[in-house]
Structure 1
Amino acid sequence: MVKAPGVFILIAACLVALAESATVTGSIGINAILPDIKKLRPTTRVALNGGAYSALVTANGQFEIPDVDTGSYVLEVQAIDYVFPKLRLDVVKDQGITRAAYTGYGTSFESRGYSVEQPLELRAKAPATYFVERKGFNVLAMFKNPMFLMIGFSALMMFVLPKIMANMDPEALKEMSQSQADAQKMVSDMPSLSDMFSNARNQQLQSQQQRRR
């Protein structure tokens, strides 16, 4: 008779724990990306929060995660060959029921997408790719490169310009040579960047000295 209250307390605690936990059930559906469940590897599993709770997917595509405690979770299918949508899963306290909605990494956990009813049915949205195929040599892409265009134009002018100058009128050739000489003289007369910065620095020092006086 003395042990009865302890037994009742233990039973009541077990009932409360069961009431606050839930079982997540669902299946993997087929579509154009995954036309046959047998294409899934035996290691495919459904996990909550990366593995806090998890269960393997059976041969017929079913899964069941028992005794999930109250809280919010991210449900994902861990498959090597396929990418599945992620769900936000909420286990409601004292009721042992769950609510699920589409979500994803980088999305605010307060925002909820389309709701999903239990048993959950998840379908692959894309094949999993781990490598990017290396692009082959493309001749046309070379002509879109500005550096290649500059080199090509310079090489063309090296062959074309002497022929143009050979057929030019002597007076026009003389004028062009004079223009080039004038341009070179103008460039040589221009102060260099170092001289400009040096002059600006000297003027600044002179103005500071005048202020101190």
Structure 2
Amino acid sequence: MHLPGLLVAAGYVITLASAASLRIQIPASNLVPNPNALPASTHATLTSAQGTTLRTPLHKGSYLLFDDIPATLIGSHLLEIFSHNLWSDHGINLAPSSGAVNLTLTAKVLGQKSFYETRQGFNILSLLKNPMILMGLFALVFTFGMPKLIENMDPEMRQEYEEMQRKSPMGAMGRAMQGGSAAPGGSAAGGGSAAAANNFDLAGFLAGHSSGGSGGGSTTSAKNAAGGDGVRERKR
């Protein structure tokens, strides 16, 4: 598994000979209390500027070892460690020499990588932040709170409110949906309210047009009837 590491400015120079080795020791730390518990897939790579890569696995004893580095690998190299943690990368400069060289480095863990997100428990505040829940609560408060508010209103104000409700088109439509119940003023008033509810044009009301009343409706009907007679006469 390849995980990006955080680069730490650390440069080392190795003079290459016929036998050169690089040992990376992994000490215990707060982030890695037991280095022996690292996964077996942990490995390190040493990459040159020309693209040549050396790879070594994790050895028993919590260390990585590049043994017998070829003398032909001269120049700057990047040492990377791949595991489930974030490690410090090192810059290695390989130079020619005539003696055997063994270099030991210490790898530093910079952080831990988390691949799973902890599932959150039930939170009542998350429900209250839901717009649908808020709309439902508002509808419940309006349904059960409005009658109580009307009961506690001043009698005169309550009477004015009821009259406004009767005269409003929405109130007439509500009475029509309830079956055209008679108004408190008597059967005549009830019949008038039912007729007004039946003649109420919801589309026109929503479009902003004022209703023309029964007279307008009768005039339109008369014009339609006249037009229909004219059409029939022309067909004859």
Structure 2-normalised TM-score? 0.48
Residue 60 of structure 1 is matched in structure 2 by 61
2:208 counterpart (181, 184, 189):
189
Q: 3-state DSSP class of the match of 2:107?
A: strand
In the alignment, structure 1 residue 26 sits paired with structure 2 residue 24 = yes
Rounded to whole Å, the distance in 1 between the matches of 2:105 and 2:145 is 73
Residue 172 of structure 1 is matched in structure 2 by 161
- Please list every run of 5 or more consecutive structure 1 residues that lacks an aligned counterpart in the other structure: 1-17, 96-117, 191-213
Q: 3-state DSSP class of the match of 1:87?
A: strand
In the alignment, structure 1 residue 85 sits paired with structure 2 residue 70 = no
Residue 132 of structure 1 is matched in structure 2 by 117
CA 1:124–1:90: 2 relative to 1, 3 Å: closer
1:187 Cα deviation from its structure 2 partner: 4.6
Contact 1:28 1:62 in 2 (8 A): yes
1:156 Cα deviation from its structure 2 partner: 1.8
Q: Deviations over 1:63-89 (max 9, x none)?
A: 22242734555533223xx40324153
- Please list every run of 5 or more consecutive structure 2 residues that lacks an aligned counterpart in the other structure: 1-15, 98-102, 171-201, 210-236
1:131 Cα deviation from its structure 2 partner: 2.1
Q: 3-state DSSP class of the match of 2:26?
A: strand
2:138 counterpart (141, 153, 163):
153
Larger-gyration structure (1/2): 2
CA 1:121–1:173: 2 relative to 1, 3 Å: farther
| Identity percentage of aligned residues | 22
Rounded to whole Å, the distance in 1 between the matches of 2:76 and 2:132 is 55
Residue 192 of structure 2 is matched in structure 1 by none
1:28 Cα deviation from its structure 2 partner: 0.8
1:139 Cα deviation from its structure 2 partner: 1.8
- CA RMSD of the aligned region, Å? 3.9
Q: Deviations over 1:103-147 (max 9, x none)?
A: xxxxxxxxxxxxxxx633123333443322222222221112233
Number of aligned residue pairs = 148
CA 1:157–1:70: 2 relative to 1, 3 Å: farther
Structure 1-normalised TM-score? 0.52
